[in-house]
Amino acid sequence: MRKIFLGLIVALSLVILTSSCKTKQVAPASVAFYNVENLFDTIDDPNTRDSDFLPTSKVAWNTERYNKKLNHIAKVISSMEPGSFPSLFGLAEVENRNVVEDLIHQKSLEKAGYKILHKDSPDERGIDVALLYRPQIYQPVETQFIRMQFPSEPDDRTRDILYSKGVVYGKDTLHVFVNHWVSRYGGQNVTDSLRRYEGYFLKKICDSIMRVEPHANIVIMGDLNDDPTDFSLVNALGAMKPVSDPKDGTLYNLADIPYNEGKGSLYYKSWDLFDQIIVSAPMLNGKNGIKVNSASETIFKKDWMLFKRRDGVMVPNRTMSSRSYFGGFSDHLPVMINMEAKN
């Protein structure tokens, strides 16, 4: 009888231990973003301003150059996570769904099994944002394409904000926003008010989510055309520098640390860090099942993606300008964060 009793205790202990281990199991996930610099096809679309990306353009854009561009972008994406691929990948400056389809079917990306979220936006240049996701890790349950309209510039047509609500490994909810804010073309001061408006606008949306879900997991990614310390990010969006004791209801900018270390994702007269990933407090402390592994985003930069200027500075090797074809990758560098989630 005593042996049976001891046997039951041992068996029960094993069950408890096994259950405990299961609840503590975590699995990797990641989020990345890349402004791919004018990923246009070679077909004339009357609904987009694509006259610079045709075989007859001043700088010819033909099938050979288009395929080279696809191959370059696929190489970057497939190199960012050794032995795997980013779970969620935001893209900016894609012309349409067809170019994104062509991208994910590149040989180096086939094993990723990416699915696409995309919708044509009213942008004047004909460029959109998109989201790639690996369905075995992330499953969308709701998708919206949020139209941006500026009271001060009612005729300005820009990119939608892509919003996706989904679950990671079928358990933990994640709210994802993919952005491409108004560019500085025409002057930073001239366009500053538009980016401030986008910051305030997005903050209202995030606040409404956090009122319903105080511990909501939120990821904001994109080319925001401002640095982490600019008004649109700090004051309008309320994206703060990461801290060891994050406060619920607050957004934290994981680009802040690398930016203050002098790092950037694009180069003009100096390094700027327009490509940013911002998260809600629970993602820093893991309070709601998903936790980022670092309070700093990684800027993916390899020598083969760069070009040495005459002054000796290594900068992103872009594809082309209005006057010349360079055959590079993009004028931006991609950024990424790694996470752990319950599995």
Q: Which tens digits make up the pLDDT trace of 46-89?
A: 888 899 999 999 999 999 999 999 999 999 999 999 999 999 99
Of 2-6, 60-64, 198-202, where does mean pLDDT reach its minimum? Answer: 2-6
Q: Average of pLDDT values for 22-46? A: 89
Question: Looking at residue 13, what is its pLDDT?
Answer: 47
Question: Could you read off the pLDDT of 223-241 as tens digits, one per residue?
Answer: 999 999 999 999 999 999 9
- Which pLDDT band, with edges at 50, 70 and 90, does 186 fall under? confident
Q: Is the pLDDT of residue 7 over 80?
A: no
Tokens of 330: 């993009």
Q: In this structure, which amino acid lies at residue 116?
A: I
Better pLDDT: 247 or 17 = 247
Residue spans of the domains in the chain: they are 25-342
Question: Looking at residue 24, what is its pLDDT?
Answer: 56
Superfamily of domain 25-342: Endonuclease/exonuclease/phosphatase (3.60.10.10)
Question: Looking at residue 142, what is its pLDDT?
Answer: 98
Q: Is the pLDDT of residue 150 over 80?
A: yes
pTM score over 0.95: no
- Is-contact 110 141, C-beta < 8 A? no
